[in-house]
Amino acid sequence: MTQRPPIPQEMKREIRQRCGFGCVVCGMPLYEYEHMLEWAEVQRHVAGEITLLCRQHHGEKTNGLLPKEVVVASNQNPYNKQTGTSKQHLLHYSGQMVRLRAADSCFEYRDLSDGAFFAPLVIDGLPLVAFRIEQDELLLNFIAFNELNKPIIQIVDNELIYDTNLWDIEWVAQTLTIREGRGRILLQLVFSPPSEIHIRKGRLLRNGIELLVGPNYLFNTNNSIFLGAIATVNCPVGFAIGDHTPNVGAGIVLAGILRYEFDRKQARQYLRRCLSERRSND
Ligand SMILES: [Zn+2]
């Protein structure tokens, strides 16, 4: 018997995209790769012969409780492809201590009380990340957009959903990565319930505003503003960019953002300069 080689990364991505980034039977966004033809017989990895099943449906298939025919039919009409959005998935946030980390910056609220609202990141008056407590339950809300201002991923009161027409979404353990193309990460989130969400990397976009989240910096491309390791504690709004800043004590505000009349190339050059200066200071 030859050792079974791993499924190549690019093939896995192709399978994820075809299956709508979820179990083909129920849409669950945490899944395993399942060979529809028995490995022992075919001994090959072919994208079209592999599908996605969640643990429960994988187990049922293995135990003969989910017929092969049902898996094949679901593979041809994946659950998440039917509506264009993934099935909602509950994230287990709870308690009164909450925190957004964005690169090496941190916005937190300790002891959030019932009825209170904390928006660690706001663009043009819209909270991209927000926590509130309602009837003793901590609720996390999150939204991220693409360049066309269309939501691509959302957490609505702890329930995660995403657009299933993206190029790639890969969720492994706590880390969810959205890619726009090969090697191009649009957003990488790390969920650490009960209290923390971390935007590790990516581009946050809204109404022509771009906030780059690098490994150890935040950078607003429009106005070439380079920020590292900023932090707020117990400010109802942590970091606000753009217009319509909520009038409730924002910790850090970037206003007067240029929408169209800025030079992206120059901004990127400035960012590279900031990063190399920082490295030489280390
Ligand atoms: Zn399933």
Query: DSSP 3-state assignment of 203?
Result: strand
- When pLDDT is averaged across residues 156-177 and rounded to a whole number, the result is 96
Residue 281, C-beta contacts closer than 8 angstroms, at least 6 positions apart:
none
pLDDT per position as a tens digit, 124-146: 999 999 999 999 999 999 999 99
For residue 78, give the DSSP letter. -
**Dist. CA 91–CA 135, nearest whole Å:** 18
Question: What is the Å distance from ligand 1's center to 58 Cα?
Answer: 7
Residues surrounding ion ligand 1 at CB below 5 Å: 23, 25-26, 28, 54, 57
Question: What is the Å distance from ligand 1's center to 162 Cα?
Answer: 17
Query: DSSP 3-state assignment of 73?
Result: helix
- Count of beta carbons in the 10 Å neighbourhood of residue 161: 19
Question: What is the Å distance from ligand 1's center to 61 Cα?
Answer: 10
* Residue 185, both tokens: 């990460």
**Dist. CA 206–CA 220, nearest whole Å:** 12
Contact 222/255 with Cβ under 8 angstroms?
no
Question: What is the Å distance from ligand 1's center to 77 Cα?
Answer: 13
Question: What is the Å distance from ligand 1's center to 28 Cα?
Answer: 6
pLDDT at 222 over 90: yes
What are 239's strand-pairing partners?
Answer: 121, 252
Q: Where are the domains of the chain?
A: 9-82, 93-281
Question: What is the Å distance from ligand 1's center to 163 Cα?
Answer: 18
pLDDT per position as a tens digit, 82-117: 999 999 999 999 999 999 999 999 999 999 999 889
Question: What is the Å distance from ligand 1's center to 251 Cα?
Answer: 43
